Copies of this chain bind each other. A is one copy, B any other.
Amino acid sequence: MTYCVGLLLNEGMVLLSDTRTNAGLDNISTYRKMFVFEEPGERVIAIMTAGSLSVTQTTIARLREAVEDGDASGETSIMLAPTLLKVAEIVGNMLASVRADVDEKLSTMRQHASASLIVAGQRKGGAMRLFLIYPEGNFIEATEDTPFLQIGEHKYGKPILDRVVRPETSLADAQKAVLLSMDSTLRSNLSVGMPLDLAVIERDACRVTQARRIEAGDEGFRAMSEAWSQALRDGFTKIRL
């Protein structure tokens, strides 16, 4: 499994992904699940992936090929597409086509492959946009009412987001919120694992303004995790039935 979360806030976008992949319980690996396409100041697109690694890797690789292709156009390259909506369409179509390919191969073994993506981006002069792309290629978009999107093992980490994330949340608080959301998920589900990739895209910067890999032994993350546990226990103690 996987847990990725993206926040669309007034001040910018905050993205967090884990890196654990597993084929069964006895084959666990670390793979990056956050991919950045960037022309700093002009356009930034970050994609987070959840699902079958063979689907997500091929999808990202083909999107990259399409960007680098000599004949790239606004119809094929996410770096040339005229709008972020068109970017979401290109990504969605690519995901659907790769998934269908892989699914057909797997059907001989009566197996099934699937994946979903979060796409966050902004082009110069446009608005920041955050999409969740479904395995079939269709997508939804974050709004003021629902300023966050999650893929993978999303349930454990949702209550904290529901309670604290609003469009006016600061980027600092937003980083705290996604890290605590991830912390709850890590504690409850072994198939989500460190290290983590955290990225911040400030509004109108059109580039990743902050990127950080948080390793398993990270002292700051550990301290935050313990402080949160303590805060929960203190809060619990104070509440009257």
A235 touches B232 (CB 8 A): yes
| CB proximity of A88 to chain B, nearest CB, Å | 26
Does A234 count as interface, using CB distance less than 8 angstroms?
yes
Report the minimum CB–CB distance from A156 to chain B (whole Å).
5
Task: Return chain B residues, CB-CB under 8 Å to A155.
Answer: 155-156, 188
Cβ–Cβ contact B220 & A239, under 8 A:
no
B160 touches A232 (CB 8 A): yes
By a CB distance below 8 angstroms, the chain B residues around A179 are 241
Among candidates B172, B227, B232, residue contacting A164 with C-beta atoms closer than 8 Å = B232
Using Cβ atoms and an 8 Å threshold, which residues of chain B touch A41?
Answer: none
A180 at the A/B interface (Cβ < 8 Å)? yes
**CB closest residue in chain B, given A221:** B241
Q: Is A49 an interface residue (CB 8 A)?
A: no
Q: Mark A69-108, 1 if CB is under 8 A from B, else 0.
A: 0000000000000000000000000000000000000000
Q: Are the C-beta atoms of B224 and A240 separated by less than 8 Å? A: yes
**Contacts A241-B172, A241-B179, A241-B224: A158 and B232 contacting too (C-beta < 8 A)?**
no
Q: A159-B156, A159-B159, A233-B164 are in contact. Are A239 and B176 (CB under 8 A)?
A: yes
CA distance A188 to B159 in the complex (A): 7
Q: Which A residues have a C-beta under 8 Å from some C-beta of B?
A: 155-156, 158-160, 162-164, 172-173, 175-177, 179-180, 184, 187-188, 220, 224, 227-229, 231-236, 238-241
A-B contact pairs, 12 of them (CB 8 A): A156-B156, A156-B159, A159-B159, A159-B184, A160-B232, A160-B236, A163-B233, A164-B236, A173-B236, A176-B239, A177-B236, A235-B235
